[in-house]
Amino acid sequence: MVEMQASIKNLTSQLDQRNAACSADSQSLDQRSEVLITPENSQSQSLKGSSISKYESQSPTAQLDSILEDLIPNRATLERILEYTGGQLHQSWMLQPFSTINIFDNGFLVGSTEKAILFIHEALQSRDVGLVSKCLSWLCLCLSELPKDFRDIETGLPLCPEELINRLLTQISIFYLADCTPACSINSIEALVLQYELFIAIGRPSRAWKCVRAGIDNAMLLGIHTRQSNLYGGLWESLWIRDRQISLILGLPYTTADNFALNTEMDTDPELDALRRIASISGCISDRDRLRQDTSFGTMRRIVEEIKQLKVLIPDERNDSVFTQPVAYSILRLFKHTLNTMIHLPYSQFAGYDKQFEYTRVEVLESAEGAIRAHQDMREMQDTPAKCHLYDFLAFNAAVILITDLAAKETPRSTEEEERIWTVITELVSRLRKTSELLVSETAEQAAEVLENLHRACKGIYRGHEFHKQIPLLGKIQISRATEQHEDVEASTTTVLLETNTYTFRVPDEHLTEKELADDWSAQVTFEMSYGWRGTYEFPDN
C-alpha cells in the first residue's frame, strides 16, 4: 500500500513534467465550455423550419394535442416497433437489473403490443408533461434499437429512427423546462433515467451524465434521497449508482457523498448489491484520480479491499455465481473487469523497471481479457444484437490495452499464448462487424476498423495509407509507414503511435462533439490535445 502511494506521487510528477496533468490552457477550457452547451443548442437550431418549430409559440400542454400526428409513427409502424423492441428492451442490457421506472405494472413495460399502445395513448392524452416525457423517452429507447433495414409499414420508406429520436428529444426538453420549476415531477425524473439509458445506448455518455445530474438535482429538491420506499428508494438508488459509474468513465467528479446511499441491510437482491459495490468503488477511483498524490491511505486501502470483495461476489465462472439473470451477470462482469483495469493501469507502467509493480500489469491484462469475454457472453445471449455503444467501446478499449502490451513485448509469452490473445481480439472484431452490419453503430464499425489495422501493423502486414484517429474517451492512434534504402535493399517499417489519458489518472476529454462516441473519429484529428501517456512501436514488414 505504501509503495502504491509512492507510485502515485512518482506518476503525478511525471505527468506534470509532460504538461499532461490536464491543466489545459484557457483557450481549451473555453472551447470545452462552449461545446458542453452546444449539443442541445445545435440540435434545436438544426430543427428550425421542421414541423416541430410550429409549436414553439404554444404552451407545453397545448402542444400535447398536436405532437401525436407529427412525432408518433402511424399505428401499423408503431405496432411493428413495439413488437420488435418491447421484449428486447425488457431483456435489455441497459435496463437490467434496474426495474425502478414505474411505466406501468411493477416495472418496465412488458406484456402485449396492445397494452403498450394503450399506455402510449393514455400518456399522451393525460396532459401531464412529466408522464408524456417518460412515454416519449421510452419510445426513443425503442427506436434506438431498430435495425438498419426497418421501414415504415404504410409508406415502405426507411424510418430514419435517428432523425425521429432527435425530434422527440427536442420536444422532451421543452416539456422538462415546463415541469422543473422549482423541481420537476417524479415522472420527469424517471424520464431522465430513461434518457440516460438512451444516451448510453447511442454513444453519448456526456449527455447521459447531464441527464443523471439533472435527475439527482430534482430528486434532492423533492426529498427522494431521504425516502426508503421501494419506488422512491429504487429511483434514488438508480440515480446514485449511475452518477458514480458514468462520472468515473468520463473522468468527472461524482455528485453525492457515500452517506447519501440508502440503508440496504434488508435488501437481498444480489444484482443490486453488486451494483452498489461497483458504484462505491467507482467513487473511490474518481477520488484517487482527482486527488492523485494527495490520495489518502484510507482511500487506497478501501479500493483494494472493495475490489477483492467484488471479485468474490462476481466470479468469472457462471456456476459459482448467485446471479439468476445471465444478461445481468455478464454486465456485472464487464463492470468488474473495467474497474479493476482502471485501478491498476496507472501503476502498471512502472512494471518494466520495478518488479514490485509486476502484479499490476498482470491484473490489467487479465481484466482486459475478462472484459472482452464478458462482452462476448452478452452478445451471444441475444438472437438480435442490442445497441449499446458504450459497452462495445469498453470491450474495444480493453482490446487496445492488450494490443499495446503485445506491441511493447514487455510481458514474456510463448508464441502460442500470443496467438491465443490475438484470437480473442479478432473474434471481438468479428462481433463488432456483425453488430455494425445489423444496427447503425458507428462505434462498433470504427472500433473494428481500428483493431483490424492495429493487428495488421503488429503483424507487419499493414499496407494502407497513414491512419489517424482521435478517439473520444481514449486518445490518439496513428499508423504510418516509412521505407529506407540500405545499400541495394529497401526496408519498410510500420510505426504505431498511441497517446492517451486512460493509462494514467483519468481526466475529462478536452474536446467534446455532438455525437461523442458515434462521431467520425477521423474528423477530430485537427484538434491539438495533450495526453499523459505516449507509446511508439515499430514493426518491420513481413
Query: Helix 389-408 and helix 415-438: axis angle, to 10°?
Result: 150
Res. 428: pLDDT tops 50: yes
Residues in Cβ contact with 9 at an 8 Å cutoff, skipping those fewer than 6 apart: 293
**Sheet containing 489-500: which strands, arranged edge to edge?**
467-471, 475-486, 489-500, 533-540
Query: Cα dist. 174→2, 140, 204 in Å?
Result: 53, 16, 20
Averaged pLDDT for residues 1-18: 60
CA 83 – CA 97 distance, rounded (Å): 22
Whether pLDDT at 244 is above 90: yes
Residue 448 near residue 429 (C-beta atoms within 8 A): yes
| Residues 338, 349: Cα–Cα separation, whole Å | 17
State the SS3 of 77-134: HHHHHHHHHHHHHHCCCCCCCCCCCCCECCECCCCCHHHHHHHHHHHHHCCCHHHHHH
- Cα atoms found within 13 Å of the Cα of residue 48, Cβ hemisphere only: 5
Least confident range of 161-165, 352-356, 525-529: 525-529
The torsion angles phi and psi of 486, rounded to 5 degrees, stand at -115, 100
Task: Return the C-alpha cell found at 246.
Answer: 458514468
Separation of alpha carbons 40 and 38, rounded Å: 6
44-103 per-position pLDDT tens digit = 333 333 344 454 555 555 555 566 567 889 989 999 998 888 655 555 544 444 444 554
Query: What is the average pLDDT score of the chain?
Result: 83
Model confidence pLDDT, tens digit, residues 245-268:
999 999 999 998 887 776 666 567
- Say if residue 131's pLDDT is above 70: yes
Local structure of 182: helix, strand or coil: coil
DSSP reduced 3-state for 465: coil
Report the chain's C-alpha Rg in angstroms: 24
Q: How many CB atoms lie under 10 A from the CB of residue 498?
A: 22
C-alpha cell at 385: 444484437
Give the chain's length. 542
199 or 503: which leads in pLDDT: 199
CA angle, residues 344, 349, 355, in degrees to nearest 5: 90
Element (H, E) at 158: none
What's the pTM? 0.87
**Is residue 358 within 8 Å of residue 351, measured between CB atoms?**
yes
Which DSSP state fits 74?
P
Of 232 and 92, the one with more pLDDT: 232
Q: What element of type H or E holds 538?
A: strand 533-540
